[in-house]
């Protein structure tokens, strides 16, 4: 592979030399970086080709190929994204914004399992209205912070309004028109979404019936005589309503917000007691009210799977949330689902082990690379299926992570340490043979940690031992 | 992107210059056109790359890259196909033909959601027999016109014959051998098929046990001694039966047609009253006998979903049919399914609004392009999931469209005008905020149109108002 | 296409000429071979592009592009793979090995339907232990030969051990830790696996908790302070257990093997009498104990579908096994599933008919190519959905084939000869019209063969007739 890529890149370089001498170096970089990257997994040519192409595009977006260290890191660590670097704004007004994470496959095909998922963050000021739209993607939202309400328009054109609070999970079907409000007078509303596009893999669009700010209404794209006929209304009157000057997120009065937080027909909506037909979103499910599935002094883990919230089933999705006490850690563990972690509060770091095949041959046994990164609010990192991962909270802040687990069918979290770890469950003879020492020795080591899933982190442990040593 | 493509194309050009100076211009064209096209949506590099490559191939098929206006249109409007331009014949005899539409992704990746579907049109003269075959694709057929019969060979090798008439929908499983007849003495048989290939995405092949006309039997591809042993018959006798000279569609006598229109065992077949096992095709379902789901002076809409016809469920398909009275219109509306419209009668036009991101950044709000085209018998056009679309019949002909709606699970048609339109269902406060005018004003406008789904078209409306003005 | 490819390859050649004159010829070859290949099916540009790229990589792996006849064959026959040519070792010790077949799409996109499947062969010496691992792929194993045992670690971290014998089918979920033993004192253990990767299409990795031989433990990739904290154990003790020197397949004592062949809690495991939850592997299913579904003097066919073994349902897989008596044949037949045949014993050959479109146009009716190859132990060949195929055993050995049938939903084997063949089931009028001779003549021919599915092969038949002639 390396050799072939070298050829192509030299080939490109040749032309660059002839046509754009200035960016010859870029290409060289591209080649080097790519061939390195391409050795980190045994993949198909086509994938590596994609990688290379995307790689080069990377250069250009950054404007002619100047590569700072940040970018190098991006090459080396395709599993990590930063809010301030890797998101673009879909909506941006003085009252709020909707930002979307670049495609997971933009920098690397190592994440091709996530090619058809996107992640979006909504931030809205107090007492604001997010204008109606429908998009060509199914999505599930999670309320990170604040108090909102969402209204979806259903079949036989009825509408359903649900109040949203921190921890709520809600599913909206592709093509369904919805609008939201931030009901709170003082607090911002933060919502994280995972989207499942239905038209183009990894791409989706918003369709706004009302214009606003920098963009027009889709009605305006139809010829006027057609819209006049459809709405049986003269162009003169129509033009007025398609020319409002506000943006897509705007202030609203308390009275408006109140009205938009409930249905006229009180019974329907958020208190959806009866089963909804499959094509209806139903009420939100609150992750925290369910209670933690794992909890100790070092952290808490919350999880909503399709048994808790039926709408997740069709999307094959699990939504989970981990709160790791300062100085503590979670894992190492691995699971079948691909995990998209979003740091919503605190700092810390994660370590993940990735199989690594030397470029010389895909035939050898893998060695394992340590992929790791500092974590702060807005950092997003990916743990692919089966990759062992551990997450550590800093000593001065509790680390809180939202996690979208995709391809989650029959998902199980296997812990590699602490109570109920995988190794401890093996026959003692298997421990003895696998580790090449007395089975009892292995047993003792994998039973030293009495806690479950969440543990004291490295620094905490060292302090304790330090103090123990002192006494 | 533009810049990168420019590089590549210049790179290509460079070589062309050295090797084929003659087609230098072609490449330049290709580059320009592509970079334009690639701005029409925010897509992945790979997709754009595909686009470009396919683009260039386009040139070559058209013979060295001469681009007439028609082609430019094709670039600009990848959503429209014409029977006389975009189909190729799979079977062609004096008695009938089978034509298949090119792959939806041939010209553009905007339709990649349809990459694995194909559309086929069968036309057979009166009293003809279409020779037996099996194909590596599931398919659903719709009888556009005429009276036919189809026989499928089932497991435990029993056969089942079903009569087919206008409006019948029938499903045939991949790998199942089938043959058909046109039972009518005077009328041609027209059948439209949507195919779901099971081997290669978007590609399928027919396997003919009997030879005929320009093609051989697949038996002939086996070595003779193998076929002799399998059939326990001498080559001499075998050769005779694999050498018939007729084509794949041939005349048949009234007696033969009659026999081929029923099973010996009368009970089975078209009057299949009892439930069939899942791997059996069962009886046809007639779209028109079910009755219209929407109907007024301006048009009728018929629909068959999996609740009507179970075999559609596995294919996630809805088959619908719209008849739009002359001078009337349908929509605007949008739905979750991707819609493949086939004009079977009449003339008119459609308008569709497509999100459009300026090339400068994918981050801005979308503007919307108006995609439209004249419609006539044989025109096929695509409305992707969620794209608002409206269809208008000409003043002198009723416009009839067959529609295959794919990825149709939980599909809903949301109308944007007339009774029960999406905007009208919103809170009045939402109307006020979204449109920036008094809510009551918006309410009035979206209630001016009293009809449902089908309305008087632009010209009709103008005439009426004209006449009203006169009086 | 040809022209475009020529350009590209010449383009590449140009550079090669400037930079690597030595391999100019390679490129030329690549172009020629590709353009030939690309005519063997009507496919999308992208596919052909892949093909070409993979093609060139082929060259390089073979070291600078020297093409011997073997390779040419590989080009011509992408449906056949050989154990000694197309497998690479994932594990290789003096006590056994794990070999994996290259990706099905490496040489050709004709097999893109199999792009996400892999095939693995395990060979282990008597009384050996295969070290614990989990992989990012679901898999189903079939015991070709020998007596083994497998232990899987389940949720709530319980383990389940199942004894394995010849004919056993067993499913292991992606991400589930498992280990195996060869229980037999004298006989080698041979296991064939089909794998369904969950991360990267067609790619999967093994994760080893214990180090061993040439590779490390994934624990070692974590930083030491993290592992110390997780396991609450000092680095000193940890290092010992991650430094065992044995390989991944090692000798074990009879006592160890015995212990590893059963669970402490006797009830659980291999005698799994009660239904297991869906995420548990359950007991193996023995293909041979079910009995043959087709059987006569010329061969036996065994089959396990999801009704026999529920775990196959989610993977949409059928496992079958054919034993063809020496000098006999199976088929010709076709079926909806794509079939991966693995020759486990004996010799013979297969013939398959493949549709072939001349490059001039995809519009013509197909002609059919005869794809065939000699079969011997370790040969793997593919019969795509609907392609008629026949398999013949040599005169001096019974031919035994394992078959993984993928995309097997609603799969039916349609025979083209013998009792219950497809043609015989047609209306006599259909036979008459299709074959262009008296229907009775066709009927006689397709009823000459009285046996079912398995028949005397070509040579056997000739001998018999020879002897009959003599008498």
With CB atoms and an 8 Å threshold, state whether C198 touches A110. no
Quick one: DSSP state of residue B267? T
Q: How confident is the model at residue C107 (pLDDT cuts 50, 70, 90)?
A: confident
List the single range of B197-211, B342-356, C28-42, C166-180 with lowest mean pLDDT.
C28-42
**Min distance A93 CA to chain B CA atoms (Å):** 11
Q: Is the ipTM above a cut-off of 0.85?
A: no
Cα A109 to Cα A382: distance, rounded to the nearest angstrom: 13
Beta bridge partners of B332: none
Neighbouring CB atoms inside 10 A of C90's CB total: 21
Cα A190 to Cα A3: distance, rounded to the nearest angstrom: 48
List the single range of A119-123, B197-201, B264-268, B306-310 with lowest mean pLDDT.
B264-268
- Span(s) in chain C for CATH 2.60.120.10: 38-84+287-460, 86-268
Q: Which residue of B has its CA nearest to C115?
A: B200
Considering only CB atoms, which chain B residues are within 8 Å of C329? 226, 229-230
Considering only CB atoms, which chain B residues are within 8 Å of C360? none
- CB–CB contacts below 8 A, B to C: 251
Q: Which residue of B has its CA nearest to A58?
A: B1
A23 has a pLDDT exceeding 80: no
**pLDDT at C26 (0 to 100):** 25
**Min distance A42 CA to chain C CA atoms (Å):** 7
Q: What angle do CA C273, C274, C279 make, to 5 degrees?
A: 115
B157 has a pLDDT exceeding 90: no
C218 within 8 A of A368, measured Cβ to Cβ: yes
Considering only CB atoms, which chain A residues are within 8 Å of B45? 50, 53-54, 57, 106
Considering only CB atoms, which chain C residues are within 8 Å of A351? 221-223, 226
- Chains with ≥3 Cβ pairs under 8 A against C? A, B
**pLDDT at B9 (0 to 100):** 34
Percent of chain B with pLDDT over 90: 67
With CB atoms and an 8 Å threshold, state whether C355 touches B103. no
User: Which pTM does this prediction carry?
Assistant: 0.84
DSSP B203-230: B--EE-SS-BTTB--GGGGS-HHHHHHH
Q: Give domain C86-268's CATH number out of 3.40.1410.10, 3.90.1150.10, 2.60.120.1130, 2.60.120.10.
A: 2.60.120.10
**pLDDT at C147 (0 to 100):** 97
List the single range of A404-418, B181-195, C390-404 with lowest mean pLDDT.
A404-418
3-state secondary structure C159-188: EEEEEEECCEEEEECCCCCEEEEECCCCCC
Neighbouring CB atoms inside 10 A of B286's CB total: 18
B25 has a pLDDT exceeding 50: no
Nearest partner of A153 among C116, C260, B421, C197, judged by Cα: B421
Cα C63 to Cα A297: distance, rounded to the nearest angstrom: 59
Considering only CB atoms, which chain A residues are within 8 Å of C12? 7, 11
Q: How confident is the model at residue A8 (pLDDT cuts 50, 70, 90)?
A: very low
**Min distance C328 CA to chain B CA atoms (Å):** 9
Q: Of B27-31, C24-28, C267-271, C286-290, which one has max mean pLDDT? A: C286-290
Using CB atoms, pick whichever of B198, B222, B230 lies closest to residue C455. B230
Cα B94 to Cα B245: distance, rounded to the nearest angstrom: 13
Q: How confident is the model at residue C39 (pLDDT cuts 50, 70, 90)?
A: very low
Considering only CB atoms, which chain A residues are within 8 Å of C279? 410, 412
Indicate the burial class of C416 (C-beta count within 10 angstroms; 0-12, 13-18, 19 or more). Answer: buried
**Min distance A152 CA to chain B CA atoms (Å):** 9
Q: What is the CATH superfamily name and number for domain A38-84+287-460?
A: Jelly Rolls (2.60.120.10)
Distances (CA, A) of B268 to A141, A424, B156, C423: 52, 62, 15, 19
B50 versus B390: which is more confidently predicted? B390
**pLDDT at B56 (0 to 100):** 31
Q: Which residue of B has its CA nearest to A177?
A: B422
Q: What is the mean pLDDT of chain B?
A: 81
Using CB atoms, pick whichever of C43, C370, C446 lies closest to residue B222. C370
**Min distance A324 CA to chain B CA atoms (Å):** 34
**Min distance B26 CA to chain A CA atoms (Å):** 19
**pLDDT at A3 (0 to 100):** 37
Render pLDDT for C61-106 as a digit per residue (tens, 0 to 9): 333 333 333 344 445 689 999 999 999 999 999 999 999 999 999 8
Cα A62 to Cα C142: distance, rounded to the nearest angstrom: 52
Q: What is the mean pLDDT of chain A?
A: 81
Considering only CB atoms, which chain C residues are within 8 Å of B222? 332, 351, 353, 370, 388, 390
- CB–CB contacts below 8 A, A to B: 254
**pLDDT at C212 (0 to 100):** 66
Q: Give the mutation candidate from C218, C249, C269 for the A interface (greatest A CB count, under 10 A).
A: C218
**pLDDT at B104 (0 to 100):** 95
- CB–CB contacts below 8 A, A to C: 253
C76 within 8 A of C67, measured Cβ to Cβ: no
**pLDDT at A388 (0 to 100):** 97
With CB atoms and an 8 Å threshold, state whether C232 touches A41. no
**Min distance C218 CA to chain A CA atoms (Å):** 6
DSSP B372-406: EEEE-TTEEEEE-TT--EEEEE-TTS-EEEEEEEE
- What average pLDDT does range C410-439 have in this prediction? 93
Q: How confident is the model at residue B469 (pLDDT cuts 50, 70, 90)?
A: low
Cα B92 to Cα B353: distance, rounded to the nearest angstrom: 38
Using CB atoms, pick whichever of B105, B135, B157 lies closest to residue C421. B157
**pLDDT at B76 (0 to 100):** 63
Render pLDDT for C382-397 as a digit per residue (tens, 0 to 9): 999 999 999 999 999 9
**SS3 at position C410:** coil
Considering only CB atoms, which chain C residues are within 8 Å of B105? 44
Using CB atoms, pick whichever of C43, C446, C457 lies closest to residue B231. C446
With CB atoms and an 8 Å threshold, state whether A43 touches C179. no
List the single range of A185-189, B147-151, C44-48, C444-448 with lowest mean pLDDT.
C44-48
Q: Which residue of A has its CA nearest to B389?
A: A222
Percent of chain C with pLDDT over 90: 67
Render pLDDT for C182-206 as a digit per residue (tens, 0 to 9): 999 999 999 999 999 999 989 999 9
Q: Which residue of C has its CA nearest to B47?
A: C46
Using CB atoms, pick whichever of A44, A334, A368 lies closest to residue C220. A368
B360 within 8 A of B400, measured Cβ to Cβ: no
**Min distance A232 CA to chain B CA atoms (Å):** 5
B126 within 8 A of B188, measured Cβ to Cβ: yes
């Amino acid at each position: 592979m390396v050799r072939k890529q070298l050829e192509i890149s030299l080939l490109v370089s040749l032309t660059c030399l002839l046509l754009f001498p200035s960016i010859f170096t870029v290409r060289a970089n591209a080649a080097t970086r790519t061939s390195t990257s391409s050795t980190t997994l045994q993949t198909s040519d086509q994938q590596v080709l994609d990688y290379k192409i995307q790689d080069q595009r990377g250069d250009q977006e950054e404007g002619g190929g100047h590569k700072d260290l940040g970018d190098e890191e991006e090459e080396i660590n395709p599993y990590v994204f930063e809010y301030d670097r890797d998101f673009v704004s879909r909506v941006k007004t003085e009252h709020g914004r909707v930002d979307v994470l670049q495609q997971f496959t933009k920098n690397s095909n190592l994440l091709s399992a996530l090619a058809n998922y996107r992640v979006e963050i909504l931030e809205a000021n107090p007492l604001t209205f997010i204008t109606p739209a429908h998009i060509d993607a199914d999505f599930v939202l999670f309320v990170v912070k604040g108090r909102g309400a969402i209204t979806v328009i259903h079949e036989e054109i009825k509408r359903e309004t649900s109040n949203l609070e921190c921890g709520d999970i809600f599913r909206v079907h592709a093509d369904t028109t919805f609008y939201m409000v931030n009901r709170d007078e003082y607090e911002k509303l933060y919502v994280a979404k995972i989207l499942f596009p239905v038209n183009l893999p990894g791409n989706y669009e918003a369709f706004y019936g009302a214009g606003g700010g920098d963009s027009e209404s889709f009605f305006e794209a139809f010829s006027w005589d057609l819209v006049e006929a459809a709405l049986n209304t003269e162009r003169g009157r129509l033009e007025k309503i398609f020319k409002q000057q506000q943006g897509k997120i705007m202030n609203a009065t308390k009275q408006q917000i109140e009205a938009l937080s409930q249905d006229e027909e009180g019974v329907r909506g958020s208190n959806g007691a009866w089963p909804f037909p499959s094509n209806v979103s139903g009420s939100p499910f609150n992750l925290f009210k369910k209670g933690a599935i794992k909890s100790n002094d070092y952290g808490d883990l919350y999880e909503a799977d399709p048994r808790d919230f039926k709408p997740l089933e069709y999307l094959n999705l699990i939504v989970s949330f981990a709160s790791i006490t300062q100085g503590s850690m979670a894992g190492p563990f691995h699971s079948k689902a691909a995990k998209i972690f979003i740091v919503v509060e605190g700092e810390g770091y994660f370590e993940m082990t990735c199989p690594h095949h030397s470029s010389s041959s895909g035939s050898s046994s893998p060695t394992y690379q340590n992929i790791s990164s500092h974590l702060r609010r807005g950092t997003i990192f990916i743990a692919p299926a089966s990759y062992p991962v551990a997450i550590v909270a800093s000593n001065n802040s509790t680390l809180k992570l939202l996690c979208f687990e995709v391809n989650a069918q029959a998902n199980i979290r296997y812990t590699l340490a602490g109570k109920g770890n995988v190794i401890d469950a093996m026959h003692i003879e298997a421990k003895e043979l696998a580790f090449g020492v007395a089975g009892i020795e292995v047993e003792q080591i994998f039973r030293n940690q009495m806690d479950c899933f969440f543990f004291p982190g490295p620094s905490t442990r060292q302090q304790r031992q330090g103090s123990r040593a002192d006494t």
